Chains A and B, each alone.
Chain A
Amino acid sequence: MIAPLFAAVLGASDAVAVGADFTDGRVCSRVGWCWELPRPQGTPLSAFWGSGPRDVWAAGDSGTLIHFDGTTWSGRVDLVEVSLHALWGSGPRDVWAAGGAGTLLRFDGETWRRVPSGSDEDLRAVTGSSRQDVWAVGGRAALHFDGARWSSVPLPPNARLWSVWREGSDVFAQGGGLFRFDGRAFVEVQALDPGDPVPVAGPARTKFALRGGRLLKRAGEQWVGAGVATLERIERGWFPSSSLAWLVTMERGSLRYDGRDWKRYPLPEFATVIWERTPNDAWAATLFGVPMHFDGKRWTAPDQPCARFDGRMLAVADGEVWLGSHEQLCHRGAQGWEQVPTRFDTTPSAIAGTRSDDIWIATSTNLYHWNGEFLGDARQTPGRMPADNFWGLTRLWLDTRRSGWAVGERGLVLFWDSQRWTRVPSGTSAALRAAWSDGAGATWVVGAGGTALRWAGSSFESIRTPPMGKGGRHQVRHDLWIEIGPGAPGDLVAISGAAPDDIWAAGGPESAQQIICGTRAGPEPTPVDWGAALIHWDGKAWSAVPTGEVVYLHDVWARARDDVWAVGADVLMHFDGRAWSKQTLSRSPLERSGAVLLGGTKTELFILGDRTLRVLPLVPR
């Protein structure tokens, strides 16, 4: 049933990308979705390398490889199927990237090509002295490139390499000990006793070590405090030469060592990697992969038009996408992203709207209306809200300016009639999670325990839904399986219809206790095909739609009968009228829950994560 969606994600041929992909100012996946927020992208980065201020590469998780042309970053989030860990080049037309499963990529000035490494170890570091002398190491692999081919270099049995560098004519590698290349093999020059501070990698290894958040320096046989003037915990350090070092502290500080003194430079965000090309041109990346630049005086990060938006707040209204958080609302319209000057007393839980001047925002106990100018407080305005003190609003649906639904905990349903929100009895005490209406009479509310309520003109009637999933054990990874209780009622969290007789609801097994995780030591898994994260209404009854290994879907959007989208934590699914297909979404560390909400305009599909937003161009219908 599940077909591979979006064919050819992974390049089987040598050429995995062409140069033109790195100039369009966007960071996109092969299948077409692009990073919208954060800017320029949100996948963690591991390495930078550049030949000049207008030629900088960065590589990171899930095959991310991006390029800076002096103005903007462009590139791919999934150039290859594995994470990339290291970059080095001898010049703009000779750049190497190394990554998982022995992956080595080479850029010739126009195209990145796969180069066979002969290893399946995760390659963690790459360095060199010329086109004919490149080293790559990782784990048990130490590889050398002579200008024509890569060959393996013997290692002592205790080596588990994660760094390689040159010092004069010597080549050193570190990991499990310190090793020097003797012309034939790496030999151990310094054993590492357990409990010793780990000397830093790089030429400064004889001077510095990091331990317990402190930088130590060598004083004879002893390690003593290095005298770095900070009380903050030092998290990371880079020591590319004996006279240059960068440290990053827990409190967003950076310290630069110029061979004599340490100087402190505040960072806009905590940095996971720092790379310096010249003293006034250095790059770092945030935890979430946003590049930051150092100009010799200060670090700057790209402006984020919508900082700290919330994973529950996505609305698409009249072609504009809206995000929100406790602190702000922001939306992207014709003029780009714009912040709306407003704040909420409590954390908002949902946003919905029909136009940019008709946006509703729910908190647990209140509803606010943005009319393009100001935020109206329904609770504060006499007669605009039900008199009882409800709480637990979680989701909104607006058909038109004059009709909308809000649902929440304990069977809470409110209806907007253009003047006031009134309480509508739902007949259930189940937590209600989503509402959908076609604005012409068909209105559904879904929620926990497989609850599906249909509006029958004056009250809701409960419609039976099928169990979601057949139950059984399923192997997720080679060392992990999960078990679903048989016949569990679905926890419905989303609903969307293409027509009154073509409605989709998404969710998954009702509660966490019904998913039992185990390791390989557990019972043997039973065959797959137990998942049904979707149910479908055909006008007469709800039926479960098997989704294979996809256990849980957070949102569904029925754009048309033959164009339905659904999103789970790490997966984007599409229904073309005949079958569902899926694609993995690489998860950013920003996204605790992964992708959670969908919203669509006529030309774009927005995928909201906890603090990320991806956008996928759609074929206009």
Chain B
Amino acid sequence: MRDHGEVPACFLPPPGIDGWTTNELILMEVTALVGSQPIDVRYAVQYLPPPEGEPGSRRLLVTVLSGPRDAGTAWSNLPCRPDAPGWSCTTLDGSPATLGSKLECRQHAGAPETTAPPAAAVPRDPRLGTWVSENPAQPWHSLFALWGAAKNDAWAVGGAGTLLRYDGARWQPYPGPVQADLLAISGSGFRDVWAVGQHGAAMHWDGAAWRAAPVAQGANLDQLFAPAPEDAWAGSSSTGELFRWQAGAWKAIDPGLRVWRLFGTSERDVWVFDPSGALARFDGNRWTHSQPPLGVPVVALARVSPRHVVAAGSGGTIARFDGELWWHERNGTGGSIEQLWAPRRDVVWAFNSRQTWLRWFNGRWATSPIPEGAAGVRAAWGLAADDGWVIDSRGAMFQYDGKQWSQRSAGSPPSPVVELVTATAIIGGAPWVVGSGVMRLTPAGWASQPVPPGLQVEELAGVPQTLVQSIAGSSENDVWAVTHARHTWGERADATVWHFDGTEWRADASAPKTARVLWQRGRDDVWAAGDLEAVWHRTNSRWIQVDPGAKRDFPSDLRAYAITSDGAGGVWVAGDGPFKRCTTRGCTSYPSPIEGSEIIPFLAISTVSATQAYAVVGDPHLENAPLHGQEREDVEPSFAEWDGVRWKALDLGPVPMMLGAVAAGRGELWALGAGNKILHLKEGKLERMVLDDVETLSLITRTPDGVIRLVGDGGRVMRRAP
């Protein structure tokens, strides 16, 4: 036990978050100079309520996720240290605090609450700030992988060193020596299990204890193959590196290609696929290289026997290896496959990123119903065809009993899932998120809401994707929504406008069939815009067309993407055409402030007042496909600003492709771009941040209390205090 002093302000919860009562887990990143080098240090901080019998005290669990790469970095060298008066910290295992340590810090009852400003030496990193996962709220859910040697002896690993053990009946937390995110786990038996993760984290279970055995190079390890005791392979799909554990140490291995997927059937048969799908096989002595056997990048592999390996490639390709030859097969479904589980030669599960899970049985692939609340699958494991486990992309666990999948999340109630998100709205002061489902923030947290009938996540068997595309409301008992079907090639069907009275959704047959977006000022004061940028206003229970829109041969040439208040009793409408400001008497068009804007549609508007609003421009066709690592640094201006007279371009320099923006007040703007990049414009200064440890975020919203939220597929909500 060591006393590490007291906690500084940089570990205190951000203003507006009462983390002490809600067990918040906050990821924070701090930059500081260590010597003359700027060092980024990432922490996970969990706020714990007072221990029993000590109502006046508070506790923190602090994990240093990454920091200086110098081996043996001492806690005392870190830029943010728990050294505030009145606090004392100890590492959980009693060892000296260092990179990867998990510390418990305690504020002693009666000690003065620290209000000290951030120490000058360790300023809060303006690039990231502090974001909190609001949905799912529990760190439990950040599970990434699982593996077991027996049905009653399995392990699951996850974020911030999370380690769970399964005894055949329940999953329970198990102390582990690593605090980084653990991304992969595998083993060769009860007494030989490896887990690896971010920043070179690696640990080994010998049947009695987990011991850290980090890879010195510190790559993010997400690939693991552990065929035998004293023989394990780990790889990084992000850096392409490969390491092998032999003779008690990790050594870098050069397989002759960049590691993307690591797999093997035995100690003498280790496979490495590169991002193109090319294969290198190691037979114990040498590497043999071959062209991509699937013809496409390999996504997932599963071994049934030495002469039966199933592989899934991008685009839904499935092929099998018989020990000598690869055989392709038609899976007949399309869609991408993310994970495979092959417990028996005649039973293979292929898990799609979406809502079609495939089951191969008796020589045929067939879709299988997925359990309620499941999102895409990120890990699968099981030892028998009637006993399987998956972890979905939200970290929830599901078990298969041979007949059906059911949720078996460890401990916490399931968080609401919206598989695909399309829009947010502030209704009655609270944020709502819609898409393939509907959820809203309640005083007890995010909660699923009833959905309009007929939603369909993925185009399947000729039934097009159908989502809630827009939502608006005056209260939780007066909500309007638009659904429409959209085929994969983008064709949109007639819209249905629905009203929710707090109990059920009813279609409004009198609503315009081409309405696409909604905004609501109050009860019986609803606005809609749609194809051809036509605009309607609903009052006295009647929809009245305010503007018939432009004349085009194809309505798809001219679409409305956003409608919102103009701050003066009317609405702004943004879309493929010019800006329009509408009142119940009609609309006025405003010339584009941006050169060539006829082909650069306006995607979103956020209004501060009648004389100030912001708009985001971008390419709507990329809207659904912003991926990490593929963001585009747009050279075009991406923002426009309304000054009460005209729209003018707001040149913020090169920015990522923008997905949305919210105004936080005069001169202050928050914007979300591709790749989870966040821009914050305030008083003429632009701050940039990135959230790279969560799913792709695609929506941004701001509640009247000033809280900014980012929303991503699956229903992930990240929250930032004002």
- Alpha-carbon gap, A448 to B295, bound state (A): 41
Q: Which residue of B lies closest to A401 (CB)?
A: B324
Contact between chains at A376 and B295 (CB < 8 Å): no
Q: Is B191 an interface residue (CB 8 A)?
A: no
Q: Is A458 an interface residue (CB 8 A)?
A: no
Residue among A343, A377, A382, A418 making CB contact with B329, cutoff 8 Å: A377
* Interface set, chain B 318-348, CB cutoff 8 A to A: 319-320, 322-330, 345-346
List residues of chain A with CB within 8 A of the CB of B345.
Answer: 341, 373-374
Q: Please tell me the number of chain B residues within 8 Å of chain A, measured between CB atoms.
A: 22
Contact between chains at A373 and B364 (CB < 8 Å): no
Contact between chains at A369 and B322 (CB < 8 Å): yes
Q: Which residue of A lies closest to B318 (CB)?
A: A380
* Interface set, chain A 337-378, CB cutoff 8 A to B: 341-343, 357, 369, 371-378
Residue among B295, B320, B364 making CB contact with A374, cutoff 8 Å: B320
Contact between chains at A373 and B330 (CB < 8 Å): no
Q: Is B307 an interface residue (CB 8 A)?
A: yes
What is the CB-to-nearest-CB distance from A300 to chain B, in angstroms, rounded to a whole number? 23
Contact between chains at B364 and A380 (CB < 8 Å): no
Q: Is B308 an interface residue (CB 8 A)?
A: yes
Q: Is B265 an interface residue (CB 8 A)?
A: no
CB within 8 Å for A376 and B307 given contacts A341-B361, A342-B362: no
Contact between chains at A373 and B304 (CB < 8 Å): yes
- Alpha-carbon gap, A552 to B398, bound state (A): 62
B 358-390 binary contact with A (CB < 8 Å = 1; else 0): 000111100000000000000000000000000
Contact between chains at B362 and A343 (CB < 8 Å): yes
List residues of chain A with CB within 8 A of the CB of B703.
Answer: none
List residues of chain A with CB within 8 A of the CB of B324.
Answer: 418
- Alpha-carbon gap, A369 to B305, bound state (A): 17
List residues of chain B with CB within 8 A of the CB of A372.
Answer: 307
Query: Which of B304, B329, B364: most chain A CB closer than 10 A?
Result: B329
Q: Which residue of A lies closest to B326 (CB)?
A: A381
- Alpha-carbon gap, A375 to B307, bound state (A): 12
Residue among A371, A380, A419 making CB contact with B322, cutoff 8 Å: A371
What is the CB-to-nearest-CB distance from B638 to chain A, in angstroms, rounded to a whole number? 43
Q: Which residue of A lies closest to B327 (CB)?
A: A376
Using C-beta atoms within 8 Å of the partner chain, give the interface range for chain A: 10 to 19
List residues of chain A with CB within 8 A of the CB of B326.
Answer: 381
List residues of chain A with CB within 8 A of the CB of B363.
Answer: 341-343, 375
Q: Which residue of B lies closest to A343 (CB)?
A: B363
Contact between chains at B362 and A376 (CB < 8 Å): no
- Alpha-carbon gap, A378 to B330, bound state (A): 11
Residue among B325, B346, B364 making CB contact with A376, cutoff 8 Å: B325
Contact between chains at B323 and A381 (CB < 8 Å): no
A 369-413 binary contact with B (CB < 8 Å = 1; else 0): 101111111101110100000000000000000000000000000
Q: Give the number of A-B contacts (CB < 8 Å).
A: 57
Query: Which of B295, B307, B325, B364: most chain A CB closer than 10 A?
Result: B325
- Alpha-carbon gap, A90 to B330, bound state (A): 64
Contact between chains at A373 and B322 (CB < 8 Å): yes
CB within 8 Å for A377 and B362 given contacts A369-B322, A371-B307, A371-B322: no
- Alpha-carbon gap, A381 to B362, bound state (A): 20
List residues of chain A with CB within 8 A of the CB of B325.
Answer: 369, 376, 381, 384, 419
* Interface set, chain B 672-706, CB cutoff 8 A to A: none
Contact between chains at B364 and A343 (CB < 8 Å): yes
- Alpha-carbon gap, A373 to B362, bound state (A): 12
Interface of A is mostly: loop
Residue among A342, A375, A381, A418 making CB contact with B319, cutoff 8 Å: A381
Contact between chains at B327 and A380 (CB < 8 Å): yes
* Interface set, chain B 263-315, CB cutoff 8 A to A: 295, 304-305, 307-308
List residues of chain B with CB within 8 A of the CB of A371.
Answer: 307-308, 322-323
List residues of chain B with CB within 8 A of the CB of A373.
Answer: 304-305, 307-308, 322, 345
List residues of chain B with CB within 8 A of the CB of A369.
Answer: 322, 325, 327
Query: Which of B319, B320, B363: most chain A CB closer than 10 A?
Result: B363
Residue among A341, A342, A374, A419 making CB contact with B327, cutoff 8 Å: A374
- Alpha-carbon gap, A357 to B330, bound state (A): 22
CB within 8 Å for A380 and B328 given contacts A369-B322, A373-B305: yes
List residues of chain A with CB within 8 A of the CB of B304.
Answer: 373-374
Contact between chains at B319 and A374 (CB < 8 Å): no
Q: Which residue of B lies closest to A381 (CB)?
A: B328
- Alpha-carbon gap, A128 to B669, bound state (A): 107
List residues of chain B with CB within 8 A of the CB of A378.
Answer: 327
Contact between chains at A377 and B328 (CB < 8 Å): yes
List residues of chain A with CB within 8 A of the CB of B361.
Answer: 341
What is the CB-to-nearest-CB distance from B722 to chain A, in angstroms, rounded to a whole number? 57
Contact between chains at B329 and A380 (CB < 8 Å): yes
List residues of chain B with CB within 8 A of the CB of A419.
Answer: 325
Q: Which residue of A lies closest to B319 (CB)?
A: A381
Query: Which of A341, A357, A369, A384: most chain B CB closer than 10 A?
Result: A341
Contact between chains at B364 and A377 (CB < 8 Å): no
Q: Which residue of A lies closest to B304 (CB)?
A: A373
Contact between chains at B322 and A377 (CB < 8 Å): no
- Alpha-carbon gap, A372 to B324, bound state (A): 13
* Interface set, chain A 303-343, CB cutoff 8 A to B: 341-343
What is the CB-to-nearest-CB distance from A254 to chain B, in angstroms, rounded to a whole number? 31
Contact between chains at A357 and B307 (CB < 8 Å): yes
Q: Which residue of A lies closest to B348 (CB)?
A: A374
Q: Which residue of A lies closest to B362 (CB)?
A: A341
Q: Which residue of A lies closest to B295 (CB)?
A: A382
- Alpha-carbon gap, A377 to B325, bound state (A): 11
What is the CB-to-nearest-CB distance from B288 to chain A, in angstroms, rounded to a whole number? 16
What is the CB-to-nearest-CB distance from A358 to chain B, in angstroms, rounded to a whole number? 10
What is the CB-to-nearest-CB distance from A308 to chain B, in angstroms, rounded to a whole number? 15
Contact between chains at A377 and B323 (CB < 8 Å): no
What is the CB-to-nearest-CB distance from A305 to chain B, in angstroms, rounded to a whole number? 16
- Alpha-carbon gap, A419 to B322, bound state (A): 12
What is the CB-to-nearest-CB distance from B53 to chain A, in angstroms, rounded to a whole number? 61
List residues of chain B with CB within 8 A of the CB of A375.
Answer: 363
* Interface set, chain B 154-200, CB cutoff 8 A to A: none
Q: Which residue of A lies closest to B344 (CB)?
A: A341
Contact between chains at B330 and A377 (CB < 8 Å): yes
What is the CB-to-nearest-CB distance from A381 to chain B, in angstroms, rounded to a whole number? 4
Contact between chains at A382 and B328 (CB < 8 Å): yes
Contact between chains at A376 and B322 (CB < 8 Å): yes
- Alpha-carbon gap, A378 to B324, bound state (A): 14
- Alpha-carbon gap, A595 to B350, bound state (A): 43
CB within 8 Å for A374 and B362 given contacts A357-B307, A380-B328, A382-B295: no
B 19-45 binary contact with A (CB < 8 Å = 1; else 0): 000000000000000000000000000
List residues of chain B with CB within 8 A of the CB of A374.
Answer: 304, 308, 320, 322, 327, 345
What is the CB-to-nearest-CB distance from B293 to chain A, in angstroms, rounded to a whole number? 10
Q: Which residue of A lies closest to B330 (CB)?
A: A380
What is the CB-to-nearest-CB distance from B60 to chain A, in angstroms, rounded to a whole number? 53
What is the CB-to-nearest-CB distance from A373 to chain B, in angstroms, rounded to a whole number? 4
- Alpha-carbon gap, A382 to B317, bound state (A): 12
- Alpha-carbon gap, A374 to B310, bound state (A): 10
- Alpha-carbon gap, A343 to B326, bound state (A): 19
What is the CB-to-nearest-CB distance from B97 to chain A, in angstroms, rounded to a whole number? 52
Q: Which residue of A lies closest to B346 (CB)?
A: A341
What is the CB-to-nearest-CB distance from A363 to chain B, in angstroms, rounded to a whole number? 14
Interface residues of B (CB under 8 A from A): 295, 304-305, 307-308, 319-320, 322-330, 345-346, 361-364
| Sample (15) of A-B pairs whose CB atoms are under 8 Å apart | A341-B345, A341-B362, A357-B307, A369-B322, A369-B327, A371-B308, A371-B323, A372-B307, A373-B304, A373-B322, A373-B345, A374-B304, A376-B325, A380-B330, A384-B325
Besides A373-B307, A374-B308, 17 new A-B residue pairs in contact (Cβ under 8 A), listed by A number: A341-B363, A357-B307, A369-B322, A369-B327, A371-B308, A371-B322, A371-B323, A373-B304, A373-B345, A374-B345, A375-B363, A377-B329, A380-B328, A381-B326, A384-B327, A418-B324, A419-B325
Interface residues of A (CB under 8 A from B): 341-343, 357, 369, 371-378, 380-382, 384, 418-419
The 8 closest A-B pairs by CB, nearest first: A376-B327, A373-B308, A342-B363, A341-B346, A371-B322, A343-B363, A381-B328, A341-B362
